[in-house]
Chains A and B, each alone.
Chain A
Amino acid sequence: MTDPYRNRSVIIRYIYTIVVVVLVIRLVFLQLINSDYKRIAAVQALREVTQYPARGYIYDREGKLLVYNEAVYDLMVIPDMTVKRYRNRHRQDSIVQLNDTALLCRKLGITHEDYESHMKKAIHYSWKAPSIFMKQISKEELAAWEGDLRKFNGFYLSRRTLRSYDRPIGAHVLGYVGEVGNRDIQADSYYKQGDYIGQSGLERMYEKELRGIKGKKVMHVDVNSREIGHYMDGALDSLPVSGNNLYTSLDADLQEYAERLMANKRGCVVAIEPSSGEVLALVSAPSYDPNLLVGRVRGKNYSVLYQDIRKPLFNRALQAAYPPGSIFKVAQAVTALQLGVIDPYSYFVCDHNLVGCHNHPTAMSVQEAIKMSCNPYFYRVYGRMIQQGKYKNAYKDSKYGLTLWRSYMMRFGFGQRMDIDLPNVMEGSIPDTSLYDKWYNHRWTFASIYSNSIGQGEVQVVPIQMANLACVVANRGYYYTPHVVRYIGNDTAKFRVEKYYRRHETGIERRYYDIAVAGMYDVVHAPGGTGHKADVPGIDVCGKTGTAQNKGADHSVFISFAPRDNPKIALAVYVENAPGGGGSWAAPISGLIIEKYLKGEVQRADFEKRYMDINPCQPVRPPKEKKP
């Protein structure tokens, strides 16, 4: 029997083959060419959970804990799990709440409007991915209702840490931590929205040490965003590595004492160990409790502090450039001696016609000039430095003198940014020839710039530089860059920052410093000295007063170190708008701080009480309101 349709079996074979080939071609596109589906699969079925490392702790020089972490909890929500969504007959989305929202609001202490707005924000971010519903709930707040949390679908807690402080001190040094901004996120891929970053002080300067290394968990989630397990059995997971600790040179007790002394005043205190450059205390007053800038209250408190006209957020010790006043004379004396324009027994009559002065006998030596802080004396000394007579042309001569003088001033650390390990340090200013050339069209001499001689005029010094001057004199000629952190690391491995172990020489001979030291000793101890109030019984305090003229009442300035031989502490104290000169306020405060540090205890209770309780600072005039 012949079959006329036999060849149709071949056509059927072709049809089968072609269709299977078409399916395979489609699979080639889906699986081999298009990579979108891989990405989508990862987004919807995997959830990367960041494991936050513990931020490094900060210790004082004796190992007392200054900054540590405290656990708080973010209440997270997955909006999709809080409701049941379905399509009704008219193909519209209907939503049914699964939770008793009224009860939840009561537990959280929020209004229903708050709930709606939080939820709207979360939904705006994603229906299925978790977002923060309520930030930073403390353990105490949580204790009241934690057990009830399971009743609420779609809510869970995520542990975060916040900075915590045992004592409310050192706000300006320690700094604060805040949420990252867009710029931080763009600059460093470490940060994600909602992360925290050090925003000032040590927190900012040592951010990379403190922050640690983030860990992650890659979780496999199901269609309802519930975690099923670790993806690939945790092969992609990593544990967080805690940040390094900072072992600072601060003395917590001294810092606290200095802050108490300055609490009701405006000004600053910088105390440094001269032999190492380690900062013992750094106070800017008014200060604030660092706990104010932590957690949910941060935003509100920050704006209050920011708007305070006394500028509590402003770190005067590093950011304020003041006229130094008479303390500057110490640097002038040793420089002039080194330059050979005077000798230790040069004397200049206290001629009030040259520059104003207070009543005192004529200084018969450099030592006496420092003791009595004679303005005309240093007017003449500065004159000799600027007009050295190298050139017949007075203009040319003054240019030579100023350039040489400036180079010496720079060796004290003036006029340049002090490389301390804290952010936002001002440079201060030591004027150079270009400034005066511009002002006076190249025609200027000593007569134009003599105010610099007594620490007024164009000279601007930052308090940290004043303290550094005290160190230079205490060390008789050199300093180490002031710094706060001694070691970085943890209990088992610590390392130090090498740049802070480099000695900076001033290039001025030790014998000239000995003269200055003798003068500074006399300031406190000799009859006619200007800083008697800095005297501490049993301790050889050396110091120098300063009275800085400015738009308001004079600032009271005092630099000092003690003991005279082998000094342990050098400090600068600056009290704004405190009348009576350096000897009246800055000197006694310095004495108290030195006593506290060297003796461990202040025995002069009445004296202490007087200077602690009284606020000498003239009120700050509020900034004039601009008229429209």
Chain B
Amino acid sequence: MRHRQSEYRKIDYLTIAIYAVIVIFGWANIYAAGYNEAHSAVFDFNFNHCKQLVWIGVSALVAGLILLTDLRFFSNGAYIFYAISMLLLLSVLFVGSSTNGGISWIDLKFFKLQPSEFAKFATALALSKYVSKQDFDIHQRGSWLMLGLIIALPVGLIFLQHDMGSALVFASFLIPLYRFGMTPYILVIGVVAITLFVLTIAVGDSYYIIMISLAVIGLIYLFVWLNRPRRKDYVRTIGIFAVCCLFIISVDTVFGSLEVHQQNRIKVLLDPSLDLRGTGYNVHQAKIAIGSGGFKGKGFLNGTITKANFLPEQETDFIFCTVGEEWGFVGCLLLLGLYLWLLQRLVSISERQASRFSRFYGYSVSAILFFHILVNVGMVIGLVPVIGIPLPFFSYGGSSLLAFTILLFILLRQDAEHTSLL
């Protein structure tokens, strides 16, 4: 008992403080989003802000419980958690309720359980466990196969629920894998492919893009060659360029062969302003809400767009609009600053872990949070296609808050004894 108490002093209270500020700020915005002069009571279970208050309490309780567990509880039980969560995902397909076209809920009467939220930390635990194996070598084909399987299973099950956004989140495991030695080309190729794809469709004339990419690659080659003139780089550059051209032309050809309305659907995905009454409506309204906030915002509870039901999902996926409208640029900067601080803090925590399990898990946590922040905020301000995933600790929703809390506090529990090698 005495031993354990001494360990608790090592809990990273700063991270908990950042977490708490984000949660409270989030709750204030949920309250504001649903605010109505006629019903302004904080304690009224007909309103989401009150339910969220309960969830904050539940999350705090669970967080406390996690901190009380044994150090090896999660590493030993990683596969068990993984198995449970996969079973839950599977059960959704049979007993799930549907919202917004996706089947992702299990209605437990008092609580709508969304297993995909919990699958994130379960998968992170399983991956961490696998990576921490004594004989693990990332460069072996067998390791890749296993890692791929661990990720592919939940992704596949979530795809079956038609929940594209949650499935995409699992791409964030590329970051901890990269940290553990995965070749960076996967990331680079991914980013380049997405960029070229978007550019090809957006610009619509492949020759310009070929010229631009030629110039860019030429410049990069020039710098590399000036440093280390080698024949190999020269050949490789031409090869990369050829692949890029092929990719661009194939995208262009495939896209050009599509029917006009199919083309439009893809274009709208890239530029929602093409269809303001349909797909682009939400993003357009979100931009209006945020843009009209200006520097200082309209003030707490004074939003006009977010108060008038112009935005569907404004307490969940579009909660950032309320920040933008009522707190303005200052509020957005504050929130994004908090998130960035948290992410950097998590990288520092991960780096100081002695065990591979904890470190990999730490990077998984930061990567999952990062992906959510990027996609959610990016979507709301029109940088990323509309993919419905929540803003961590901030959006309304019991499953999401609880799952993110568990995700974070498992790391904090591990971090409390970060010198232990497990």
Contact = CB atoms under 8 A, between A and B. Distances in A.
Interface in A194-253: 220-224, 228-229, 231-232
Interface in B287-333: 287-295, 302, 304-305, 307-310, 324, 328-329, 332-333
Contacts of B324: 27, 30-31
A220 B308 contact: yes
Contacts of B374: 19, 23
Nearest to B342: A16
Contact of A38 (B291, B339, B351, B363): B291
B383 A22 contact: yes
Interface in A358-390: none
Contact of A46 (B37, B304, B332): B304
Interface in A19-72: 19-20, 22-24, 26-28, 30-32, 34, 36-38, 40-42, 44-46
A31 B332 contact: yes
B331 to A, nearest CB: 10
A628 interface: no
B206 to A, nearest CB: 26
Interface in B56-114: none
Helix, strand, loop or mixed for chain B's interface? helix
A143 interface: no
B291 A34 contact: yes
A8 B174 CA distance: 13
A32 B175 contact: no
A9 interface: yes
Nearest to B176: A12
- Most chain A C-beta atoms within 10 Å of own C-beta, residue among B179, B292, B293: B292
Contacts of B305: 41, 44-45
B20 to A, nearest CB: 20
A13 B347 contact: yes
Helix, strand, loop or mixed for chain A's interface? helix
Contacts of A17: 340, 344
A5 interface: yes
A31 B307 contact: no
B288 A41 contact: yes
B370 interface: yes
A12 B363 contact: yes
Interface string B355-397: 0000000010010001001100110011100000000000000
A91 B309 CA distance: 23
Contact of A37 (B179, B288, B343): B288
B329 A31 contact: yes
Given A13-B347, A20-B339, A38-B292, A30 B381 contact: yes
A191 B329 CA distance: 38
B381 A26 contact: yes
Contacts of A221: 308
A106 interface: no
Contact of B308 (A13, A27, A223, A232): A223
Contacts of A44: 288, 305, 310
Contacts of A15: 175, 370
Interface residues of A, number: 41
B294 A27 contact: no
Contact of A40 (B178, B261, B288, B309): B288
Contacts of B175: 12, 15
A44 B381 CA distance: 19
B336 A23 contact: yes
A229 B37 contact: yes
Interface in B266-300: 278, 287-295
Contacts of B333: 24, 27
A221 B293 CA distance: 17
B180 interface: yes
Given A31-B332, A229-B37, A20 B340 contact: yes
Contact of B381 (A23, A228, A231): A23
A87 interface: yes
A45 B305 CA distance: 6
B346 to A, nearest CB: 9
A617 to B, nearest CB: 67
A231 B304 contact: yes
A363 to B, nearest CB: 87
A623 interface: no
A231 B351 CA distance: 51
A41 B287 CA distance: 10
Contact of A31 (B261, B290, B351): B290
Nearest to A30: B291
A4 interface: yes
B383 A26 contact: yes
B92 to A, nearest CB: 27
B340 A12 contact: no
A24 B333 CA distance: 7
A2 to B, nearest CB: 13
A17 B343 CA distance: 9
Interface string B340-354: 100110010011000
B345 to A, nearest CB: 11
Contacts of B287: 30, 37
A192 to B, nearest CB: 23
- Most chain A C-beta atoms within 10 Å of own C-beta, residue among B291, B295, B304, B329: B291
B378 A223 contact: no
A38 B291 CA distance: 6
B328 A9 contact: no
Nearest to A20: B340
Given A5-B180, A87-B278, A220-B307, A27 B370 contact: no
Contacts of B343: 16, 20
B299 to A, nearest CB: 9
B181 A4 contact: yes
A31 B308 contact: no
A224 B310 CA distance: 9
A220 B307 CA distance: 9
Interface string A501-524: 000000000000000000000000
Contacts of B383: 22-23, 26
Contacts of A8: 178-179
A430 to B, nearest CB: 66
B308 A222 contact: yes
Interface string A488-512: 0000000000000000000000000
A41 B294 CA distance: 11
Contacts of A5: 179-181
A314 B332 CA distance: 68
Nearest to B181: A5
A16 B343 CA distance: 7
Given A16-B343, A27-B332, A45 B310 contact: yes
A223 B309 CA distance: 6
Nearest to B330: A31
A16 B310 contact: no
B139 to A, nearest CB: 11
B344 A27 contact: no
Contacts of A23: 336, 374, 377-378, 381, 383
Nearest to A226: B308
A31 B293 contact: yes
Nearest to B261: A91
Given A17-B340, A24-B333, A27-B329, A9 B308 contact: no
Given A9-B347, A23-B381, A37-B287, A28 B329 contact: yes
Interface of A: 4-5, 8-9, 12-13, 15-17, 19-20, 22-24, 26-28, 30-32, 34, 36-38, 40-42, 44-46, 87, 91, 220-224, 228-229, 231-232
23 contacts: A4-B181, A5-B180, A5-B181, A17-B340, A19-B370, A20-B343, A20-B373, A23-B378, A24-B332, A27-B336, A30-B287, A30-B290, A30-B324, A32-B329, A34-B291, A37-B287, A40-B292, A41-B291, A44-B305, A45-B304, A46-B304, A223-B310, A228-B307
Given A28-B329, A38-B292, A42-B304, 12 more contacts: A9-B350, A15-B370, A17-B340, A23-B381, A26-B382, A27-B324, A27-B332, A38-B291, A40-B292, A87-B278, A220-B304, A220-B308
The 4 A-B residue pairs with the shortest CB-CB distance, nearest first, are A37-B291, A41-B292, A222-B308, A45-B304
